Amino acid sequence: MSQTSLSSAERLFVGVAEQEVEVVVIKAAVSIRAARQNDGPAIQALVSGLSLKSRYYRFFFPIHTLSDEMLARFTHAYPESEVTLLAYAEQDGREVVVGMANYVVEAKSGKAEYAIVVADAWQKQGIASRLIKNLICIASTAGLEAMYGDVLAENTGMLRLLNKLGFSNDAHSDGAYLRSTSKSLEIYPWKCAEWLKLAPAA
């Protein structure tokens, strides 16, 4: 497909898949980019290296490895249906994925369900915030109206972060152990220049 036939969201996604945005956190320089087709092993390593608590917070059950189907979804994304962003850093001379955020679009609703996880050793370094902000930028560019997600009520750190980013925090129909969070994407406070400049010209 030629670049001239791509939508603005598709062009942006091509850009973030091929390049990355560097963000500096306390421990080291961390880069964020869209997941690529060959990122499956690195994503699998991220999940298998999580603590039991972190896996439970992300998947709501103590999953240890991802199925081939799940990996395929994370690594074959499309901005108007599904996107995965990765945060990675260099450790011992090699790239290691230290965080992942993704959204899946709910058909015909204009809304997307999001999820995020950061490796235990890299938590509380600002990575989750950066991942979510950049996910919002891409979702907004893709024309989505809102992002939503379920968060365990005991995951107070994530709920505090989402509150700072303007997400609602409401009671969940499934019970008190879950919270329902959402954010309108019609107006967002973060400039997406670092992503938009990566999009190939029309």
CATH class held by domain 3-196: alpha beta
Tokens of 82: 């599904």
> According to the model, what pLDDT value does residue 22 have?
47
d(CA 124, CA 53) in angstroms, rounded, equals 15
Tokens of 2: 């030629």
> According to the model, what pLDDT value does residue 8 have?
55
CB–CB of 136/188 below 8 Å? yes
For the chain, where are the alpha helices, taking DSSP H only?
8-18, 40-48, 52-59, 68-75, 127-141, 156-164, 193-196
d(CA 122, CA 30) in angstroms, rounded, equals 10
What is the rounded average pLDDT of the residues 172-185?
89
> According to the model, what pLDDT value does residue 175 have?
79
Per-residue pLDDT tens over the stretch 74-84: 987 676 788 89
pTM above threshold 0.85: no
What is the rounded average pLDDT of the residues 48-59?
94
What is the rounded average pLDDT of the residues 182-193?
69
Chain-wide mean pLDDT for the chain?
A: 81
d(CA 183, CA 145) in angstroms, rounded, equals 9
> According to the model, what pLDDT value does residue 16 have?
55
CB–CB of 57/158 below 8 Å? yes
Question: Which residues, in sequence order, are bridge partners of residue 88?
Answer: 31, 97
For 32-126, where are the alpha helices, taking DSSP H only?
40-48, 52-59, 68-75
Does residue 41 carry a pLDDT above 80?
yes
> According to the model, what pLDDT value does residue 196 have?
52
> According to the model, what pLDDT value does residue 32 have?
85
Per-residue pLDDT tens over the stretch 105-142: 988 888 999 999 999 999 998 899 989 988 888 888 77
The closest alpha carbon to 83, from 103, 97, 63, 53, belongs to: 103
Residue 201 pLDDT level (bands cut at 50, 70, 90) = very low
Does residue 28 carry a pLDDT above 80?
no
Longest dimension (CA), the chain: 49
Domain ranges, ordered by start, for the chain: 3-196
Dihedral over alpha carbons 7, 128, 19, 135 (to 10 degrees): 0
In the β-sheet with 82-91, what is the strand arrangement from edge to edge? 21-24, 29-34, 82-91, 94-106, 111-118, 146-152, 178-184, 168-171
Question: Which residues, in sequence order, are bridge partners of residue 106?
Answer: 111
